[in-house]
Amino acid sequence: MGFNFISLLLFLPLLSVAILSGLEQALASDNTFLVNTNHRNSTADGGMSSLRGKKQRSGCNLFQGRWVFDASYPFYDSSSCPFIDGEFDCLKFGRPDKQFLKYSWQPESCTIPRFDGAAFLRRWRGKRVMFVGDSLSLNMWESFGCMIHASVPKAKTTFVKRTPLSTITFQEYGVTLHLYRTPYIVDISKEKVGRVLNLGAIEGGADAWKNMDVLVFNSWHWWTHKGQSQGWDYIRVGSSLVRDMNRLDAFYKGLTTWGRWVDQNVDTTRTKVFFQGISPTHYEGREWNEPRKSCNGQMQPLDGSNYPSGQPPSAGVVSKVLSSMKNRVFLLDITTLSQLRKDAHPSTYGGDGGNDCSHWCLPGLPDTWNQLLYAALSM
């Protein structure tokens, strides 16, 4: 699946590239975290040997594990969070089972620190976090806001929801969570022929992404859409204009443009950059050996640590692009752990009468994504 180096997210007491080498000895006696020293310039061959295989300094891959029942979950009550969209509020729209709320992610040989929203606000006082991407970014952004809000329920907040930029601000701490909606990350422009997806341009919202303290990017969900749900009429590839092309190839070209933008415009010594990873769907039961099923009616995660059909090809595209970048970008490698959660989608409880096996209930799975993000930012 291309290079996997970014998927081994760096978890250090201080998440700092400058001190990685100095901490290796101390980390050797600590089996809590997996450490990745895969910087592109870390070896004589330009770092390429370090990109091959897993660099485990403490013996734990936080993304390899299983789901376990945990009575202390969820982190919050959907009815008390002011930020949740109806499409994610499964209990509000009548989901009768609540067991899907009671699972925590357990890595094979370590534990994830429990989320502490108050501690996050204190540590990141005056900082700005931005989620950039599609409705899966919306899912994660709302989850993060709810998790923090549950820790400081009396804190004054400002909530502004607009297109493309929305914000949640915890006023007393000066912490703002931004959401910038851009399904493809690269630009869609209006031309004489119609809507054009420009795989080589990333100017539409890029200025809004600059000078953030944390950036969490995500894309893929909309690249597969066809027909009326397709967001463009033509694709621009260099000087060529085409009606369609292989969607994985298009995704690779678009994500390469994004990677180049990050390398040229983001100072990663002050801005932590993450890629959210590929969020899976569960429309095809054959993927988990139930060919006549979808996410509808699913009430339990899959057992074990591996998804029967393996990771989607789009995850390989992400790994390939990230491994070619000069700047350090951390992958929240949430694909496999999310594939195991066939029970965590809104299905028919999203309020629109359809069967949603793409997004996730809140509270729910995105809370775990944010717990991993929190660990990366606070440990």
Residues noted as catalytic: 135, 356, 359
DSSP H stretches of helix in 83-231: 117-123, 135-151, 206-209
Strand, coil or helix: 334: coil
Distance CA 289, CA 304 (A): 14
282 close to 344: Cβ distance less than 8 angstroms = no
In the block, tokens 């894309």 appear at 219
- Beta-carbon contacts of 31 under 8 Å, excluding residues fewer than 6 positions away, are 58, 59, 60, 109, 110
- Beta-carbon contacts of 280 under 8 Å, excluding residues fewer than 6 positions away, are 307, 312, 335, 338, 339
- Beta-carbon contacts of 153 under 8 Å, excluding residues fewer than 6 positions away, are 80
Task: Compute the half-sphere exposure of residue 61: CA atoms within 13 Å on the CB side of its CA.
Answer: 19
Give the H/E segment covering residue 190.
strand 187-191
Distance CA 162, CA 348 (A): 26
- Starting from the edge strand earliest in sequence, which strands make up the sheet with 214-217, in order? 157-160, 165-170, 175-181, 128-133, 214-217, 272-275, 330-331
Q: Quote the tokens at residue 169.
A: 């601000």
Q: Closest Cα to residue 125, out of 372, 378, 331, 369?
A: 378
